[in-house]
């Protein structure tokens, strides 16, 4: 008995290649002489199927013979979710119902690891080839172009490389060509324009380059055209206006240029229009008023200017509206009918009062606009924004403590600033590299904002259109990959994910972004074939384009750290079908933000960051933080006098928040400030938990204390103040002859490291 779990009725001829040994019938080449009315496969077709089985490594096609189509009982295998399926169908009506031919081959989700056999082109009655979700490699054989009746060619999620053979354009009967989520590349063959019966052309998540051939204008039967996530370039062709039967048009994440052709208005059958990330010149929104059936309208980052037409709010079929990251202007108050639509209008220049969005039954992301007359959302202040995101969208608001996030610029409402932060994205609190990473376990959503104790926050934007679920927004180690705790979880989003460092003190910072791909398997199955590609931006500047976690790390389940500075924004690209529909978008495991100091001294940028507002006040602020224990605890300073000189020994607190990092920074700071008028560092010592600095001792401390410290330490004579002015001027004159770094350093030194002896005499004055 064949080892298939589900039995079909006997109402159709289904050829099943099980694990049983079947009696072979030996006839002529075509098998047309049947014994006892048996319906037989031609011998050449039996041999062809055996070759196909061998090249694809189909283990459950153990025995193939002429009688396989005419068994009293036949079996097929289909899981309840329809993801795994093995069906081979025959038509046995040839030559007076005596000869059978294979018409349909569907082997889906079996992780077949062979090559795509050219012998498939030798099955003359073949109508369908569906090898979705396997591990097949190699190229698409040109011989498939000789199939005279093929209607469906579906090779979704495999490892196919090379180009689409021009010979595919010879299959004039072809209705569906679905090659999504492979590694195909090169230019699209103009010959595909001969496929006038084609209804579905899905080429998303491949590496195609060049432009869309003009011959594609002949494809007037198209219902669906998708080229998401490719490197196709050039202008969106005018001939798309010929596709009057199309219901779905996807041009997201390409390198194509706008503007969107005006004749797109002729596509009145459209139900889903998705275009994003256009290059080129700006334009206004095309006329879409005649698209009465439109359900999903996504024109994101398409350089669209002007106002949103009134008719958009009257589209009764509309479910999702995404016009984010454009230059749209105008009053948003009139769009009350959009409260039943999922809306993404962030990063525009919209004005007015979005009061209708505050009572939406769906989700609405209206962040980063120019709204007026702030109205508190019914869901509460900043902490509660789960379905309506209004972050940084108002020119001003009531400025209450829990509404600060609605004001443009995200003003800091805390009494203290932060100099570091650590976030375990999507996971609980964890210790990593001796730093404690905060937990980040909130679920998130299509239009959500969250902040943690005023130190950091995130915005999550987008919906998984290919999935019926709104999530996931948190990722776990699904395949038991061997990763450290900080990489075992992650946060992701369908479209964009933005983290904020809130109330961060002015300065230069190093941002470490930790990534590990944990949603794809590390094996030879189709679940390992996903590609997550996104951009990383800092303060609006793209620093990493088309960043691929697994490729950069050298595989899945491998942690990788990217070093950048300041806050980050992530954008979405990549496959959409692996391991399931809706698994895509930016993903991040952890974030660390620490003060930026180069080894061996301060960079010009770092010093400028420290003295950004006022050199004296900034230095004084750091001194006060040190005194109050915010920057490493209250450090002890002791004096050791010898016959020739006195030295200062500073003991850094072993309970310092910054620990070893603070000790290293102290050494770097003092050793970098080498000048005759500045205190000298003699050395350091590490003994167990004791951290010691040894430097030149001058009993009256620094100019900072003489100017701003306790009264008993102030200058006692006007002559002392005059000497200090001369000293600062002389130091500035000397360093001005050197370089910019020294000049900047002397300004800091004039308060912190310019020290005096018992008579308030400076060094070498």
Q: Summarize pLDDT for 354-400 with one digit per residue, the tens.
A: 888 888 878 999 999 999 877 766 666 776 567 889 888 888 765 56
Which carries the bigger pLDDT value, residue 253 or residue 521?
Answer: 253
Residues forming beta bridges with residue 107, ordered by sequence position = 86
pLDDT of residue 410: 82
User: What mean pLDDT do residues 243-247 have?
Assistant: 97
Closest CA to 345 of 256, 255, 333, 546: 333
Do the beta carbons of residue 130 and residue 108 sit within 8 Å?
Answer: yes
Higher pLDDT, 519 or 356: 356
Backbone dihedral region for residue 572 (phi beyond 0: left; psi -120 to 50: alpha; all else: beta): beta
pTM of structure:
0.72
pLDDT at 700 over 80: no
CA 536 to mean position of chain CA atoms = 8
d(CA 635, CA 659) in angstroms, rounded, equals 12
User: pLDDT confidence of 683, banded at 50, 70, 90?
Assistant: confident
- Residue with the two structure tokens 């000789």: 146
Mean pLDDT of 497-512: 85
5-9, 427-431, 629-633: the lowest-pLDDT one: 5-9
Which of 351-360, 393-402, 486-495, 731-740 has the lowest average pLDDT?
Answer: 731-740
Q: Which of 235, 274, 238, 282 is nearest to 257 (CA)?
A: 235
Which span out of 59-63, 659-663, 728-732 was modeled with the highest average pLDDT?
59-63
Cis check: omega of the bond before 10, within 30 degrees of 0: no
pLDDT-based confidence at residue 402 (cuts at 50, 70, 90): low
Averaging pLDDT over each range in 42-56, 355-369, 530-544, which range is the top one? Answer: 42-56
Separation of alpha carbons 434 and 430, rounded Å: 10
pLDDT band at 468 (very low <50, low <70, confident <90, very high): low
State whether residue 703 is helix, strand or coil.
helix
Structure tokens at 694: 């040894």
Cα 487 from Cα 492, distance rounded (Å): 13
Lowest-confidence range among 306-315, 475-484, 611-620?
Answer: 611-620
Contact 419, 504 (CB under 8 A): yes
Q: Which range, 566-570, 678-682, 701-705, 761-765, has the best average confidence (pLDDT)?
A: 678-682
Which of 200-209, 303-312, 369-378, 386-395 is predicted least confidently?
369-378
Instruction: Tell me the average pLDDT across 102-131.
Output: 95
pLDDT at residue 148, rounded to an integer: 96
β-strand partners of 275: 251, 299
Residue 396's pLDDT is what?
73
Tell me whether residue 100 is exposed, middle or buried, using C-beta atoms within 10 angstroms of its C-beta: 0 to 12, 13 to 18, 19 or more: buried
Residue 152 DSSP SS3: strand
| Parallel, antiparallel or unpaired: strands 509-515 and 474-476 | unpaired
Report, as an integer, the average pLDDT of 12-25: 37
- Determine the pLDDT at residue 652: 66
C-beta atoms surrounding 480 within 10 Å: 10
Mean pLDDT of 674-691: 65
What are the chain's domains?
A: 1-84 (no CATH), 111-307 (3.80.10.10), 421-595 (2.60.120), 604-752 (3.30.200.20)
pLDDT reported for residue 347: 93
């Amino acid at each position: 008995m064949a080892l298939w779990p589900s039995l079909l009725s006997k109402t159709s001829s289904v050829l099943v290649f099980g694990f049983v040994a079947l009696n072979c019938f030996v006839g002529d080449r075509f098998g047309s002489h049947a014994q006892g009315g048996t319906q037989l496969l031609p011998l050449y077709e039996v041999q062809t199927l055996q070759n196909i089985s061998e090249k694809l490594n189909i283990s459950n096609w153990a025995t193939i013979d002429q009688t396989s189509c005419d068994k009293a009982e036949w079996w097929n295998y289909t899981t309840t979710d329809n993801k795994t399926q093995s069906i081979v169908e025959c038509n046995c009506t040839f030559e007076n119902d005596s000869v059978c031919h294979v018409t349909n081959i569907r082997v889906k989700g079996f992780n077949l690891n062979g090559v795509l056999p050219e012998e498939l082109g030798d099955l003359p009655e073949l109508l369908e080839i569906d090898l979705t979700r396997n591990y097949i490699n190699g190229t698409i054989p040109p011989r498939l172009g000789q199939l005279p009746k093929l209607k469906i060619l579906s090779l979704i999620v495999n490892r196919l490389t090379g180009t689409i053979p021009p010979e595919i354009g010879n299959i004039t009967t072809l209705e569906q060509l679905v090659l999504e989520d492979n590694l195909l590349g090169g230019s699209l063959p103009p010959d595909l324009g001969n496929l006038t019966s084609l209804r579905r052309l899905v080429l998303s998540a491949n590496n195609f380059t060049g432009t869309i051939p003009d011959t594609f204008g002949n494809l007037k039967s198209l219902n669906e055209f998708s080229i998401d996530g490719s490197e196709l370039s050039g202008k969106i062709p005018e001939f798309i206006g010929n596709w009057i039967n199309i219901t779905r048009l996807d041009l997201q994440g390409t390198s194509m240029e706008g503007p969107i052709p005006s004749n797109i208005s002729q596509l009145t059958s459209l139900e889903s229009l998705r275009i994003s990330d256009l290059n080129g010149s700006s334009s206004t929104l095309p006329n879409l008023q005649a698209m009465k059936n439109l359900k999903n309208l996504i024109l994101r980052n398409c350089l669209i200017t002007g106002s949103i037409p009134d008719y958009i709010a009257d589209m009764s079929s509309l479910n999702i509206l995404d016009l984010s990251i454009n230059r749209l202007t105008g009053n948003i108050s009139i769009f009350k009918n959009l409260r039943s639509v999922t809306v993404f209008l962030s990063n525009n220049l919209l004005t007015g009062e979005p009061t209708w969005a505050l009572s939406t039954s769906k989700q609405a992301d209206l962040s980063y606009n120019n709204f007026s007359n702030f109205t508190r959302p019914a869901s509460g202040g900043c902490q509660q924004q789960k379905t309506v995101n209004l972050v940084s969208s108002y020119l001003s608001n009531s400025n209450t403590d829990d509404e600060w996030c609605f004001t443009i610029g995200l003003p800091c409402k805390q009494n203290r600033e932060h100099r570091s932060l650590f976030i375990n994205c999507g996971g609980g609190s964890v210790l990593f590299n001796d730093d404690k990473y905060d937990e980040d376990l909130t679920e998130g959503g299509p239009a959500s904002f969250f902040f943690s104790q005023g130190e950091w926050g995130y915005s999550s934007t987008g919906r998984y259109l290919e999935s019926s679920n709104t999530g996931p927004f948190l990722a776990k180690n699904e395949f038991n990959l061997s990763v450290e705790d900080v990489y075992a979880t992650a946060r992701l989003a369908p479209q964009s994910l933005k983290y904020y460092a809130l109330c961060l003190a002015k300065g230069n910072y190093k941002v470490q972004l930790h990534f590990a791909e944990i949603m794809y398997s590390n094996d030879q199955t189709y679940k390992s074939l996903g590609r997550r590609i996104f951009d990383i931006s800092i303060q609006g500047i793209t620093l990493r384009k088309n960043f691929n976690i697994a490729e950069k790390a050298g595989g899945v389940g491998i942690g990788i750290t990217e070093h950048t500075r300041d806050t980050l924004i992530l954008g979405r690209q990549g496959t959409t079908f692996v391991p399931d529909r809706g698994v895509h978008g930016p993903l991040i495991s952890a974030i660390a933000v620490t003060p930026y100091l180069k080894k061996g001294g301060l960079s010009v940028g770092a010093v400028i960051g420290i003295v950004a507002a006022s050199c004296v006040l900034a230095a004084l602020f750091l001194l006060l933080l040190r005194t109050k224990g915010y920057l490493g605890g209250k450090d002890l300073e002791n004096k050791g006098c010898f016959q020739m000189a006195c030295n200062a020994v500073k003991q850094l607190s072993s309970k310092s928040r910054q620990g070893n990092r603070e000790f290293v920074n102290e050494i770097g700071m003092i050793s970098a400030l080498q000048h005759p008028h500045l205190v000298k560092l003699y050395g350091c010592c590490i003994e167990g938990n004791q951290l010691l600095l040894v430097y030149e001792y001058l009993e009256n401390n620094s100019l900072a204390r003489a100017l701003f410290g306790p009264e008993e330490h102030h200058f006692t004579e006007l002559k002392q103040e005059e000497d200090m002015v001369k000293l600062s001027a002389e130091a500035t004159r000397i360093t001005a002859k050197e370089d910019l770094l020294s000049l900047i350093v002397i300004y800091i030194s004039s308060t912190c490291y310019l020290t005096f002896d018992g008579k308030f005499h400076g060094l070498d004055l």
